[in-house]
Amino acid sequence: MSYVDEVLELVKEKNASEPLFIQAVTEVFESLKPVIEANEELYRKEAILERITEPERQIMFRVPWVDDKGQVQVNRGFRVQFNSAIGPYKGGLRLDASVNLGMLKFLGFEQVFKNSLTTLPMGGGKGGSDFNPKGKSDREIMAFCQSFMTELYRHIGADTDVPAGDLGTGGREIGYMFGQYKRLRNVYEGVLTGKGLTFGGSLARTEATGYGLLYFTKEMLACNGIDIAGKTAVVSGSGNVAIYAIQKATQMGAKVIACSDRNGWVLDEEGIDYKILKEIKEVKRTSLAEYVNYRPNAKYTAKEAGDKMDHGVWTVKADIALPCGRENTIDLEDAKNLVANGVIAVAEGANMPTNLEATKYFQANGVLFAPGKASNAGGVATSGLEMSQNSERLSWTFEEVDEKLKNIMISIFHAADDAAKKYGMEGNYVAGANIAGFEKVATAMLAQGVC
């Protein structure tokens, strides 16, 4: 058995109850085969694959807080500090009822490669809680965030581990957590990113993941002789990534005609208005069903019990598909729908939204496929820029940050493209991104000895 297959078996055995983590490792290992096989003896002796799949540290803790009725609630908090070979652990905090250790290990593992691709010095980590922020009052959110940070603060720091937002954690939550960290530590440092602009946040961080996705997509299309202007697109999700992806796609001359949330989806043939989404999702924090009250020509379809998440969006005919929701929301059936409808490109704006079978189907059918660890890296890249600004105690203009983000996304595309070509897999950006991300981390790990 090859070294890669041997370690994959070991990972499956040791993490049998964590299917998302196994899925993420399987995808990366398939891509790494040619790289590892070219130097198998060294990598085996150094146990590089065993080390890279074992988090450096995993922290789990109790998060007690009091709800508005005076009832004590208890959630489980996590931080997975996956790999610090190239910089302090860096990655978001997910707040969602579905959060468990296996999910955060998958996200932390992905983050290691994603952060490596950004060219910035950031290791990989991820954290969060099974706390569900939906329907909670502001006071309850603050009570949870303060309690969460009351344990987390001892494990993080500007040069140790720098958490940020993710699903369920936005500017409001980062603000409450930052306040509590400062109070407990009595230091004012860039320990979290995605902060408010008045206390160390970076301009363009809010827009960065969505904008970055489009900078990447435009470059990928252009390098394949296709102009994004005039194309139609469908987006899943309607949160932070989706909103700014829709804005940037529209600015680039594309027309986004569908998007979704967990309860249903909207079709707007005239083009989704991102400002309305912002109002519904960021100000009112309510359901996408509201969209048709602003745009009567649009059509809302509620998800029925048993319907797959985002499925409706993938039945719409469009040139470009941008999954910006959560993991595993494009399966083989969705991929077949999209291909039958003539999709040209699929670019992931989330972590692993396309399952392995669907990814392979796209690639086998000539669809340009951008994996999330490359095309969704704009958020964390701009977090890296926020860290730089905090370190030098300066803030850059929106244009300066946006320009740097654009250059980073273009360079990520070319790193993935070049690596794929180098190993004879031209156009396979999944393999290219995994290889380019891995090579930098593995080189650093080997140089740092057994640790």
Give least dist CB 387 to ligand GLU, A: 9
Q: Distance (Å, rounded) from C-alpha 265 to C-alpha 353? A: 17
Contact assessment for residue 181 and residue 162, using Cβ atoms and an 8 Å cutoff: no
Q: CA 122, 128, 129 angle in degrees (round to 5)? A: 170
| Amino acid found at 46 | E
**Which is nearer to ligand GLU, 166 or 268 (by Cβ)?**
166
User: Binding ligand GLU by CB under 6 A: which of 92, 108, 190, 353?
Assistant: 92
90 belongs to the binding site for ligand GLU (CB under 6 A): yes
Is 88 a binder of ligand GLU (CB under 6 A)? Answer: no
Q: Residues 90, 114, 126, 373: which is the catalytic one?
A: 126
In the complex, residue closest to ligand GLU by CB? 92
Is residue 385 part of the contact set for ligand GLU (CB under 6 A)?
A: no
Does position 91 bind ligand GLU by CB under 6 A? yes
- Rule CB under 6 A: say whether 104 interacts with ligand GLU: no
Q: What gap in Å lies between CA 366 and CA 362, rounded to an integer?
A: 6
Tell me whether residue 166 or residue 261 sits nearer to ligand GLU (CB atom). 166
Residues 6+ apart with CB under 8 A from 214: 228, 245, 248, 249, 252
Burial classification of residue 51, based on how many CB atoms lie within 10 Å of its CB (0-12 exposed, 13-18 middle, 19 or more buried): middle
Q: Is 158 helix (H, G, I), strand (E, B) or coil?
A: coil
Residue 288 neighbours by CB under 8 Å, 6+ apart? 238, 259, 260, 261, 263, 264, 265, 266, 277, 280, 281, 300
Q: Which residue(s) pair with 129 in the sheet?
A: 77, 95
C-alpha triplet 212, 245, 223: angle, nearest 5°: 55
Q: Closest Cα to residue 301, out of 269, 266, 271, 273? A: 266
* Cα gap 29→152, rounded to integer Å: 32
Q: Which stretch binds ligand GLU (CB under 6 A): 69-77, 84-92, 281-289, 303-311?
A: 84-92
Q: Is residue 370 close enough to count as binding ligand GLU by CB under 6 A?
A: no
Among 86, 243, 380, 435, binds ligand GLU (CB under 6 A): 380
**Candidates 25-33, 164-172, 282-290, 400-408 — which segment interacts with ligand GLU by CB under 6 A?**
164-172
412 belongs to the binding site for ligand GLU (CB under 6 A): no
| Beta carbons of 427 and 368 less than 8 angstroms apart | yes
**80 touches ligand GLU by CB under 6 A:** no
Other C-beta atoms closer than 10 Å to the C-beta of 17 total 9
Q: How far is the C-alpha of 388 from the C-alpha of 395, rounded, in Å?
A: 9
Nearer residue to ligand GLU within complex by CB, 91 or 325: 91
Residue 195 interacts with ligand GLU (CB under 6 A): yes or no: no
Looking at residue 426, its amino acid is E
DSSP 288-318: GGGHHHH-TTSEEEEPPTTPPTTGGGGGS--
Q: Does the footprint of ligand GLU cover residue 432 (CB under 6 A)?
A: no
Question: Should residue 379 be labelled a site residue for ligand GLU when binding is judged by CB under 6 A?
Answer: yes
| For ligand GLU, the closer CB: 114 or 218 | 114
Nearest approach in angstroms of CB 323 to ligand GLU is 14
Q: Please select the residue that binds ligand GLU; options are 96, 166, 268, 319, rule is CB under 6 A.
A: 166
Cβ proximity to ligand GLU, 231 vs 373, nearer residue:
373
Active site residue 126: yes
Cα angle for residues 205, 397, 347 (degrees, 5° grid): 35
Of 10-18, 48-56, 160-168, 272-280, which part binds ligand GLU (CB under 6 A)? 160-168
Residue 245 touching ligand GLU (CB under 6 A):
no
Query: How many other CB atoms are there within 10 angstroms of residue 398's CB atom?
Result: 12
**Cβ atoms < 10 Å from Cβ of 158:** 16
Is 24 an interacting residue with respect to ligand GLU (CB under 6 A)? no
Q: Does 383 bind ligand GLU (CB under 6 A)?
A: yes
Among 116, 118, 146, 193, binds ligand GLU (CB under 6 A): 193
Q: C-beta of 98: minimal distance to ligand GLU in Å?
A: 15
Does 351 help bind ligand GLU (rule: CB under 6 A)? yes
Positions in the binding site for ligand GLU (CB under 6 A): 90-92, 164-166, 193, 351, 379-380, 383
Which amino acids are annotated catalytic?
126
